[in-house]
A and B are shown apart, each in its own frame.
Chain A
């Protein structure tokens, strides 16, 4: 069963959505080999000395196309309403580090689109803006070029139709192959079907507002995102990924 959450974890997740709590702790034994560091254990930056500003996220136009019936959401499934996302505070000087950076993927030849589209700033839900990867667990990876402190990661999978992507996992590492020093920031693979450990994070339905993953100041050069199809089909889609943070001096 994918994207499972307990009711108790729902509360935790709801709290996480107000950006006050930590993200999931991975409990897959296999991950011992990959030296995963749960985000909660990452040393918090010295926030007191840094002035905070609201993260400005440019949103595309809403574009649910041909959805036969609007999807209502249970508390365990989150969907921000337009203008309802709580302000997300970041340190002054935080920028989009991923813009036009190099993207690699488990499949370098997507079925539709090019990898460059993931970081080109085009977040529209229309045809021509999304990249389609084949079925099964697929990942995309962004090279930020330098070690960076991550404040937030925004991801738009597909928002022309109501759907939820399975096994959304967001990781950061200094290792290009993600074999060591891996920090998991988000994981909603609740049945471990993607083999990265059982995740406790919430399932969500993609909208034009995208999904915000708290970076919690985790440090790394590479950002990797996994998915394993959606409630619509087996394919994996991405429209845009924006990694916000600062390069570490």
Chain B
């Protein structure tokens, strides 16, 4: 029995570190996503952009693998019976955000939107939008970490996610308004708007996950 006990705590520690690794992966994905987008806006689709895009793709695959392993362990070991469903949804939501980072970079690579002749102000605002969206995901990751270790602190991070989502909405609205006031043909306006919506969508999704996390936290509060 003693051996089993040690093995069981060993498994627990391994799973804890896998969850931490997964959240690190999502965070890395966010940082790379912001950097890749920033680079594309400044320099266009060069070799560096393609390298970064490949890196994000690898990170996304790693995230998928980690989530699958964690979920399998949670269910096969019958761990955290009360919170298992919530933890599963949470991890899948985080994985979805990671997928979005990859998906947007993939779209940029395939569609190659032209940004060279867009005004410096708009390009800067677009980079800011990406920064704010990634910051919302970063704060969401902090909340998720707190959910596992210190659920009383979850709220402290969640309110920042809401603030950042509002900021992302404001930036997105500004970008779209300026874009449609410009002299670009409608097809370009619509094309660029699609990317603005996609990046803003990351902040929206982070906020939705934050709302669900708030409910899981209430359920977990003893």
Do A and B come from the same complex?
no
Tell me the B residues contacting A by CB distance below 8 Å. none
